[in-house]
Amino acid sequence: MSSSTKMGLVNLRDLVESTAHKWYKENEKDSMKAKWGRTYNWKELVKEIDWRSLKVRHDPVIYNDLAIPGAPKNHILFRSTFLNDTNREQEYNLKAERRTVSTCSFSIFEGYTTEQCVSLELEVPLPKCVLEASTGFRREYTIEQSKDKQIEEQLTWSVESNIKIPCMSQTTAELLVQEDEYHGTFEIKSYFFGEIHVKVYKDSQELLNLEFGDLEDLFPREKGFRKDARGIYRITRGECKARFGVSQKVELHAKPLPGADLALRQSQRNSLDQQNDSRKNSVRDNSVPTAPITVLRELINGTDI
């Protein structure tokens, strides 16, 4: 819809008071003077609107997605570095808890506003793609008396895990939360039924009790209201923006410490030496028995040798 045909925001209370004022100007001489013997300035009177007999039914919301959730963005919530400068593998316990805030905002740029009247409040459901991807949001939110609404939902992310750190190395553990965003416009058609009562007071004295059952008089076409076979309706258009957490993950980044290669070679050499020493000790402890020595004597010229 072009900007020239947009009807903007209308306040239902202003429309009802305007209609009541018009009736008062046309009938004050007959009704007021006959009953009270005088007339009053409209601005001096207190107007009380009874909305209880007016009902509204909303058609399903229609969303026009401008930016749907895509590739989530990573945000680091926690980072811890573990250092192992020994020749043995070490094991550490990683435990962390952090909180994030998911936000959603609704802005109404065309439609109606009301005073405190629960039956006329506008309930806007979240887009399906946001409900499927997000964590922490409710299915729908009520737009009360203003044209804007900001929602914040707090989420808690936690991790507890054991991490093994190789010898002579440094490992950095990061807790990441993946967040996504949504941006779109929405449209809701609202039908009005029933009637409205207006009581007019002067110094706590009730002067008039007006009943308006013809909603076409209250909600005119020039204020953006339309009529079809189902009745009088008004279209509300607005914008929805959301930023929300999707998931969490832990990333580990390991790198060797300076001199790790030399330390590894020395560790391997020490291990090899220990193995060799172990073999030697084993040989000593399990030596093979020697054979008996036989002394040979030969007679040479009758002499023992």
Distance CA 167, CA 131 (A): 45
pLDDT tens per residue across span 221-273? 999 999 999 999 999 999 999 998 888 999 999 998 886 566 556 665 666 65
Q: Using the Cα atoms of residue 278, residue 283, residue 285 and residue 286 in order, give the sign of their dihedral.
A: positive
Domains of the chain: 9-256 (2.170.15.10)
Residue 18: is its pLDDT beyond 90? Answer: yes
Identify the residue whose tokens are 């429309």. Answer: 15
DSSP, residue by residue, the chain:
--TTT---EEEHHHHHHHHHHHHHHHHHHHHHHHHHSS---GGGSEEEEE-TTEEEEEPPPEEEEEE---SPEEEEEEEEEEEE-SSS-EEEEEEEEEEEEEEEEEEEEEEEE-SS-GGGPEEEEPPHHHHHH-SS--SEEEE-SSSEEEEEEEEEEEEEEEEEE-TTEEEEEEEEEEEEEEEEEEEEEEEEEE-EEEEEEETTEEEEEEEE--HHHHS-GGGT-EEETTEEEEEEEEEEEEEEEEEEEEEEEEEEPTTHHHHHHHHHHHHHHHHHHHHHHHHHHTPPPPPPP-----EETTEE-
Average pLDDT over residues 17-46: 82
Lowest mean pLDDT among 10-19, 62-71, 154-163: 62-71
- Write phi, then psi, for 280 (nearest 5 degrees): -60, -45
- Average predicted confidence (pLDDT) for the chain: 81
pLDDT tens per residue across span 167-189? 889 999 999 999 999 999 999 99
**Encoded tokens for 141:** 């939110």
Distance CA 163, CA 245 (A): 25
- pLDDT for 236 equals 92
pLDDT tens per residue across span 271-301? 665 666 665 555 555 544 444 433 333 333 4
- pLDDT for 16 equals 94
- Report the predicted TM-score, pTM, of the whole model to 2 decimal places: 0.68
Q: Are strands 54-58 and 169-194 parallel, antiparallel or unpaired?
A: antiparallel
